Chains A and B, each alone.
Chain A
Amino acid sequence: GAGVSQSPSNKVTEKGKDVELRCDPISGHTALYWYRQSLGQGLEFLIYFQGNSAPDKSGLPSDRFSAERTGGSVSTLTIQRTQQEDSAVYLCASSPPGVPSYNEQFFGPGTRLTVL
């Protein structure tokens, strides 16, 4: 079946512009996660959704970052007034409901963001 999809695959923007990154999780997956992968910081958690709610936003690096999820499906990560340090690959992952003690997450291909 279809995996997690993300769009765009690549985004180049100018410093100060806003960007929106989209994630389509696997159908039926209730949990959705955003991570950021950068050379200096490795893989960092940003935000977790269960349904349309975000019980854990602890990884968002600043108030320029926000995310929403609608219909328990698609999620959008928005970065306002982008800075060069926002350049990274943004990864989305989803998990099915009823997962037992472990938490297997299925990752999308990522969006490579470059801020000039």
Chain B
Amino acid sequence: GNSVTQMEGPVTLSEEAFLTINCTYTATGYPSLFWYVQYPGEGLQLLLKATKADDKGSNKGFEATYRKETTSFHLEKGSVQVSDSAVYFCALTGGAGTALIFGKGTTLSVSS
């Protein structure tokens, strides 16, 4: 079945550091890939998405590229801020009407 594996946290960085959170997936067919973020005390929010191979999703300075050859969708940001502290979830879906399958989540803590 489909599954998502993301790096274990927590990840602790200083402000302005470079961020990478690794995500790999196993899926049949051509899934769509997502990063969701959960800020402290808030609900899940879509951060970015990519729907086909080589697509790059981007938002708020975060980027992730859909790599079919390595079945990966790593999240990156060039310079993190304290306000980026949150839990990040990688997820996939097989298409409309199918459930999201999530990774376990990675907690990011950024200090000033």
Instruction: Say whether A70 faces chain B, with CB atoms less than 8 Å apart.
Output: no
With A42-B105, A43-B89 already in contact, the answer to whether A105 and B100 are too (CB < 8 A) is yes
**B43 & A103 in contact (Cβ 8 Å cutoff):** no
A 96-116 to B, binary, CB cutoff 8 A, 1 in contact else 0 = 000111111111111000000
Q: How many A-B residue pairs have CB under 8 A?
A: 68
A-contact 0/1 string along B40-51, CB 8 Å cutoff: 001111100101
Closest Cβ of chain B to A104, distance in Å, is 6
Whether, in the assembled complex, B95 has its beta carbon less than 8 Å from a beta carbon of chain A, the answer is: yes
Kindly state whether residue A79 has any CB partner on chain B within 8 Å.
no
Output the least CB separation between A57 and chain B (Å).
11
B105-A103 in contact (CB<8A): no
Question: Is the beta-carbon distance between B102 and A43 smaller than 8 angstroms?
Answer: yes
CA distance A21 to B68 in the complex (A): 39
Of the candidates B49, B51, B96, B103, the one whose C-beta lies within 8 Å of that of A42 is B103
B51: nearest residue on chain A (CB-CB)? Answer: A102
| A109-B43 in contact given A31-B97, A95-B96, A102-B95 (Cβ < 8 Å) | yes
Give chain B's interface residue range (CB within 8 Å of chain A).
Answer: 20 to 34
Q: Does A13 contact B (CB under 8 A)?
A: no
Chain B residues within 8 Å of A14, by CB: none
Pick from A42, A45, A55: contact of B97, CB below 8 A: A55
| Residue A91, interface by CB 8 Å | yes
Hey, which chain A residues are within 8 Å of B43, CB to CB? 91, 107-110
**A-B pairs with lowest CB-CB distance, top 6:** A45-B99, A102-B32, A43-B102, A107-B44, A109-B43, A103-B93
**Sampled A-B contacts (30; CB under 8 Å):** A42-B102, A42-B103, A42-B105, A43-B100, A43-B102, A43-B105, A48-B97, A48-B98, A59-B99, A91-B43, A91-B44, A95-B96, A99-B96, A101-B30, A101-B32, A101-B51, A101-B96, A102-B32, A102-B49, A102-B51, A102-B96, A103-B32, A103-B96, A103-B97, A103-B98, A103-B100, A104-B49, A105-B46, A106-B46, A110-B43
> Which residues of B come within 8 Å of A, CB atoms?
30, 32, 34, 36, 42-46, 49, 51-52, 89, 91, 93, 95-105
